[in-house]
């Protein structure tokens, strides 16, 4: 196969596979059958396209090929099940309908798919896992890693969700009227979770996945276009994602390390995305029916328009956090507000806020709460030379970490590591989702204490002394 054709087919698969799958699920009414049909369709493309050329409408070709592959599969299995023969005959009869006529009421089957994956008949964990797997194409391993769960657990969750959709007859459709509005919140949550997976991927080899960010934004745009009237929080979520996405080209340095918000080159931020977000925020705020997504977008907008980190309007940010806490009175929002207060009024005032918040059970056992505030550029607690960037439910900490690690003999060794820790908040709990750590060393001599290995689990320890 010529290399150019192979690359074109790979590009089509990367760009169209999720779209083709969504349409096949609608046509076939079965997730597993659609997934098998998708694979068969691309195998057929690999055999035929090098000789016949890539069709003008590759997506339509793949959908058609996948549907007929599914019909063939059902007829092979129909020798043992009469009902499968009836299903195959029905699909064959429908196959004469043109693709254009099938697109009734909605231009993209993936929106149907996301509403199906987010159906209230499924638990939220199942909604998220199924959407990431079917809409975004993440592997089961990637999903498990993202949510700190075992792969077999996630796999079983996805299998059970598909079975529930099939057995309960959950319709593959976008709801209408009041039902659409009542289900909007769960859809927004899942879209934002998809965006967050792209904003900071579960894969250490690819910490940023702009394709998932693009996908989440596209789905939010389509959702807003299809709603019977503008919904402030749908607009707010789109604005929030656009503002974060506007900084995508400045979030990694030349070595692939994450760059703090304060250190990013603001001249390379996407001003078109920021301008679009500004309009969405104004529209949502003017409705007086805004909520958490819009308020988080407004906070991100202040950062986006600040000429530098030093010139950020922390007074306005604290005021917005006050409003956000009224809508979402969680310890995490209160913690973010404490950081903003520290930036506005100084670390001593912020520290008092932090000490009060540390009484909350959701924050007591997480080291992030103890290393969020700076004192004249130095940390109050665990980390030295600490730099912290907090953006919604993500926080990036750079600095020197006082740690303890067990060596090969199980003996505890204490020392310091230079590193970057990225924390993600899930249901009020902070957990490390990405880390880059040096080998532990003795700060007085600079000598290594031990060679770092993945099986060693470092423990962040109270700061005992200043590292030199």
* Span 344-367, pLDDT tens digits: 887 667 767 776 776 666 554 444
Phi, psi of 263 (to 5 degrees): -100, 0
Distance CA 159, CA 169 (A): 15
| Residue 319 pLDDT | 97
Which tokens is 448 given?
A: 């290594």
| Residue 343 pLDDT | 84
Q: Which of 136-140, 141-145, 221-225, 459-463 has the lowest mean pLDDT?
A: 459-463
Q: By the 8 A CB rule, do 137 and 18 touch?
A: yes
Closest to 422 (Cα-Cα) out of 456, 455, 399: 399
Distance CA 318, CA 365 (A): 25
β-bridge partners, 424: 394, 431
Q: Which of 69-83, 204-218, 297-311, 396-410 has the lowest mean pLDDT?
A: 396-410
CA 305 from centroid of its chain's CA atoms: 24
Q: Which pLDDT band holds residue 382 (cuts at 50, 70, 90)?
A: very low
Q: By the 8 A CB rule, do 251 and 259 touch?
A: yes
Q: Which of 59-63, 189-193, 257-261 has the lowest mean pLDDT?
A: 257-261
Distance CA 276, CA 81 (A): 55
Tens-place pLDDT, residues 154-183:
999 999 999 999 899 898 888 887 788 778
Regarding predicted confidence, which is higher, 40 or 330?
40
Regarding predicted confidence, which is higher, 364 or 280?
280
Q: Which pLDDT band holds residue 100 (cuts at 50, 70, 90)?
A: very low
- Report whether pLDDT(424) > 90: no
User: Can you count the helices (H) and strands (E) in the chain?
Assistant: 18, 7
**Length of the chain (residues):** 468
Phi, psi of 120 (to 5 degrees): -60, -15
Tens-place pLDDT, residues 222-262:
889 878 788 999 999 999 999 999 999 998 888 877 788 88
Domain boundaries, the chain: 3-102, 106-229, 374-460
| pTM of the shown model | 0.64
Distance CA 38, CA 18 (A): 9
Distance CA 435, CA 457 (A): 12
Which tokens is 425 given?
A: 């908040």
How many Cβ atoms from other residues are within 10 Å of residue 16's Cβ?
15
Distance CA 240, CA 237 (A): 5
| Residue 269 pLDDT | 96
Residue reference for tokens 């890539």: 54
Kind of pairing between the strands at 383-391 and 429-437 = unpaired
| Residue 375 pLDDT | 29
Q: To 10 degrees, the CA torsion angle through 280, 282, 287, 289? A: 70
The set of residues, in sequence order, having a beta carbon less than 8 Å from that of 177 and lying 6+ positions away, is: 228
Kind of pairing between the strands at 459-460 and 429-437 = unpaired
Question: What mean pLDDT, rounded, does the chain reach?
Answer: 76
């Amino acid at each position: 196969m010529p290399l150019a054709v192979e690359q074109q087919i790979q590009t089509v698969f990367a760009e169209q596979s999720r779209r083709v799958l969504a349409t096949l699920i609608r046509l076939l009414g079965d997730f597993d059958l659609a997934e098998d049909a998708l694979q068969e369709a691309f195998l057929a493309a690999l055999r035929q396209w090098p000789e016949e050329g890539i069709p003008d409408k590759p997506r339509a070709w793949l959908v058609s090929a996948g549907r007929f592959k599914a019909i063939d599969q059902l007829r092979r299995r129909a020798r043992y099940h009469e009902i499968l023969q009836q299903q195959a005959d029905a699909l064959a009869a429908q196959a004469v309908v043109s693709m254009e006529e099938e697109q009734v009421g909605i231009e993209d089957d993936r929106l149907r798919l996301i509403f199906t994956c987010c159906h209230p008949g499924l638990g939220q964990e199942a909604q998220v896992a199924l959407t990431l797997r079917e809409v975004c194409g993440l592997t089961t391993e990637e999903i498990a890693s993202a949510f700190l769960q075992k792969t077999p657990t996630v796999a079983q969750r996805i299998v059970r969700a598909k079975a529930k959709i099939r057995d309960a007859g959950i319709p593959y459709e976008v709801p209408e009227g009041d039902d659409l509005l009542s289900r909007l919140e769960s859809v927004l949550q899942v879209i934002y979770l998809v965006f967050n997976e792209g904003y900071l991927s579960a894969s250490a080899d690819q910490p940023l996945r702009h394709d998932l960010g693009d996908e989440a934004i596209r789905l939010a745009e389509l959702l807003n276009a299809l709603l019977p009237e503008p919904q402030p929080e749908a607009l707010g979520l789109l604005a929030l994602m656009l503002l974060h996405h506007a900084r995508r080209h400045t979030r990694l340095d030349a070595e692939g390390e994450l760059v703090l918000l304060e250190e990013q080159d603001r001249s390379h931020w996407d001003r078109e995305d920021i301008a679009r977000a500004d309009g969405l925020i104004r529209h949502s705020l003017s409705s007086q029916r805004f909520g958490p997504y819009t308020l988080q977008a407004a906070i991100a907008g202040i950062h986006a328009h600040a000429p530098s980190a030093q010139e950020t309007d922390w007074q306005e940010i604290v005021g917005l956090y006050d409003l956000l806490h009224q809508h979402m009175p969680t310890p995490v929002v209160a913690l973010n507000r404490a950081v903003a207060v520290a930036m506005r009024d100084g670390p001593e005032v912020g520290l008092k806020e932090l000490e009060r918040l540390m009484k909350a059970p959701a924050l007591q056992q997480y080291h992030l709460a103890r290393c969020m505030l700076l004192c004249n550029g130095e940390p109050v607690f665990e980390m030295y030379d600490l730099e912290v960037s907090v953006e919604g439910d993500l926080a990036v900490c750079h600095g020197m970490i006082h740690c303890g690690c067990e060596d090969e003999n199980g003996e505890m060794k204490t020392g310091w590591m230079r590193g970057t820790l990225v924390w993600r908040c899930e249901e009020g709990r902070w957990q490390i989702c990405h880390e880059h750590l040096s080998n532990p060393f003795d700060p007085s001599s600079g000598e290594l204490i031990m060679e770092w290995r993945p099986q060693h689990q470092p423990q962040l320890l109270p700061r005992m002394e200043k590292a030199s």
